[in-house]
Amino acid sequence: MSFSAAANARDFETREPTSLHFRRDSNLKLYSELVDCTVREASKYSPVPNVLDLGAGDGQAALAFLRLGCTVTAVDISEHQLERLRHDCAAFAPQLAVHVCNLETDARNIPGSFDIISASSMLHHIPDYGQLIRDVIQLLKPHGQFFSFQDPLRYDSLPITDRLFSEVSYAACRIRQPDALGGIARKMRRMRGVYLADCVADNSEYHVVRNGVDAEAIRAIFESNGFLCRIVPYFSTPSDFMQPLESA
């Protein structure tokens, strides 16, 4: 298993909830609208669209698809998170299949073909997310859609003001969490370009602590495979204080 897969397996054995991004009303609203739109499009071709949810975690992302009547195959490297998903999505059990899977190596072996492949807060965990996308494109039906949400945009493509705002709002939140001093020490080490193979924080949120996710490279993969691509930029921060400034 790669350093990043091992770091994710370890990290998500204890994380509860899996991720905080659905705690924000604005984020949840945008996510629900985009899911709605994706499912409406899929329904033109399949009366009951089937969804492959990559890195499904505790199932908060899957719930939006389940509530709209889709069937969902949820895959994740963490058995612990999938246990929580089974619990939180129990009302939709007949619509749900759950598999432990390391998407860095085993994505192309997932059985079936899908109307929608969803990756919520997921691609940035995978060092070679381009390869993952190329692998799962093979699992889409004709007219199938790939939907990803909540990855950080490539930092060096952002205006300096956006980068600064984002850094300050993250720091304002991080400073009140456990091991703030350790976090600062790791950040300073990484700023010198030093990443440690055995450090979970350097390898779990892999591209968050590097240069973000390259939306244009992802667009190029889809367009070269004959897909139309839409990118919807938005602002999201874990800081309660800064999020209301999102539209400023």
Ligand X SMILES: C[S@@+](CC[C@H](N)C(=O)[O-])C[C@H]1O[C@@H](n2cnc3c(N)ncnc32)[C@H](O)[C@@H]1O
Q: Which positions touch ligand X (CB under 6 A)? A: 5, 8, 12, 18-19, 55-57, 60-61, 76-78, 81, 101-104, 120-122, 125-126
Shortest Å, Cβ 15 to ligand X: 8
Shortest Å, Cβ 5 to ligand X: 4
Q: Which is nearer to ligand X, 7 or 242 (CB)?
A: 7
Q: Cβ of 240: how many Cβ atoms within 10 Å?
A: 12
CA distance 8 to 2: 10
Q: Which is nearer to ligand X, 142 or 207 (CB)?
A: 207
Q: Which is nearer to ligand X, 43 or 102 (CB)?
A: 102
DSSP β-ladder status, 96-100 and 114-120: unpaired
Shortest Å, Cβ 48 to ligand X: 22
The closest of 130, 81, 85 to 103, measured between CA atoms, is: 130
Shortest Å, Cβ 93 to ligand X: 19
How far does the chain reach from its first CA to its final CA, in angstroms?
43
Q: Which is nearer to ligand X, 6 or 229 (CB)?
A: 6
Shortest Å, Cβ 233 to ligand X: 18
Contact 147, 116 (CB under 8 A): yes
* Close Cβ partners of 177 (under 8 Å, ≥ 6 residues apart): 183
Q: Which is nearer to ligand X, 122 or 136 (CB)?
A: 122
Report residue 98: phi and psi, to 5°: -130, 130
